[in-house]
C-alpha cells in the first residue's frame, strides 16, 4: 500500500508566463508530444491543445522521452 513505485512524470512545463490575474503555461505530453495551453487564474481555468497558424495541433518530435 505504501510501497508504491514512482512513475516518471508524463507532462512537462515547456513555458510559463505570469499574467495580471493568473498564469499561462504550455505543457507537453511526453508520450504523444502534443502541446497544451493551460490557463490558471481568477475564473479562467482551462486546458486546450495548442494550435499552429494553420489550425493544426502543435506536436513536438520526441527522439527520446528521456530528453525532456
- Cell readout for 8 is 516518471
Q: Is residue 55 part of a domain?
A: yes
What single string gives the DSSP state of each residue in 28-46?
EETTT-BEEEEEEETT--E
The answer to the question of residue 46 being in a domain is: yes
Task: Tell me which residue of 41, 43, 40, 38 sits closest to 28, measured CA to CA.
Answer: 38
pTM of the model: 0.78
Question: What total of structural domains would you count in the chain?
Answer: 1
Q: Is 68 within a domain?
A: no
Position 57 in a domain: yes
Predicted local confidence at residue 2, as pLDDT: 72
pLDDT of residue 35: 98
Q: Can you give the pLDDT of all 68 residues of the chain as single tens digits?
A: 577 788 889 999 999 999 888 999 999 999 999 999 999 987 779 999 999 999 999 999 977 655 55
In a domain, 5, yes or no: no
Q: Give the pLDDT score at 38.
A: 95
pLDDT at 55: 97
- The answer as to whether 3 is a domain residue is no
Range of the domain at 34: 11-61
Amino acid at each position: 500500500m505504501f510501497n508504491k513505485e514512482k512513475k516518471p512524470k508524463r507532462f512537462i512545463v515547456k513555458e510559463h508566463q505570469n499574467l495580471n490575474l493568473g498564469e499561462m503555461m504550455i505543457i507537453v505530453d511526453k508520450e504523444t508530444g502534443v502541446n497544451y495551453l493551460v490557463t490558471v487564474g481568477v475564473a479562467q481555468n482551462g486546458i486546450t491543445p495548442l494550435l499552429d497558424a494553420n489550425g493544426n495541433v502543435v506536436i513536438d518530435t520526441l527522439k527520446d522521452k528521456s530528453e525532456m
